[in-house]
Amino acid sequence: MSAPSRSDVPPTSIGVDLREEGVVVEYLDGRTTLYRGVPESAEGSVTAGPGKETHVLVTDPTETEGVMTYVNDYKTDDEILEESGVGRVVVEDSERDEVFPGVIVGRDGRRNEVVADPEIAGGRVFVFVEDGWTEGSYEIVEGPEDGLDAHR
């Protein structure tokens, strides 16, 4: 039996509901997930610790829809991602990829980094970082001081 594929998967627009208790994402298959808590404001970028799952959500200007991409997710089958509308990007160490206009993801050792400029992205940019023990929610509220081109 062969190992399941772990390739890049393009995201599809999914539902978003910004609430007091956190950010709710409604997948195409009808499931919902609550990313708990008010996201912490971040300027320019968010770097996840080693071994942390990294999910990037960019909303549209109405903040009711968005696109979500998992960064370096090696556990979820392509078919599940496609059915849910979530995308995946796999980046190697020292590599960077612009996953949405104004949103760049990269890999430094075992750490995922998300660099974004919400003005260019055209919506709000959220980064969710989690493992089996902890969850962190962040919103990148302004672009990096040195500009996005410095991170491409």
Tell me the pTM: 0.94
State the Cα–Cα distance between residues 50 and 71, nearest whole angstrom.
13
DSSP H/E element including 87:
strand 87-89
Q: Are 140 and 116 in contact (CB under 8 A)?
A: yes
Q: Is residue 28 part of a domain?
A: yes
Per-residue pLDDT of 24-54, as tens digits, reads: 999 999 999 999 999 999 999 999 999 899 9
pLDDT at 135 over 50: yes
Number of domains in the chain: 1
β-bridge pairing 14-19 and 65-71: antiparallel
Q: What angle do CA 48, 53, 54 make, to 5 degrees?
A: 60
Q: Is residue 4 part of a domain?
A: no
Q: Is residue 70 part of a domain?
A: yes
Per-residue pLDDT of 65-114, as tens digits, reads: 999 999 999 899 999 999 999 999 999 999 999 999 999 999 999 999 99
Q: Is residue 19 part of a domain?
A: yes
Q: Is residue 7 part of a domain?
A: no
Q: Is residue 49 part of a domain?
A: yes
Q: Is residue 41 part of a domain?
A: yes
Q: What is the pLDDT of residue 101?
A: 96
Which residue(s) pair with 86 in the sheet? none
SS3 of residue 79 by DSSP: helix
pLDDT band at 2 (very low <50, low <70, confident <90, very high): very low
Q: Is residue 5 part of a domain?
A: no
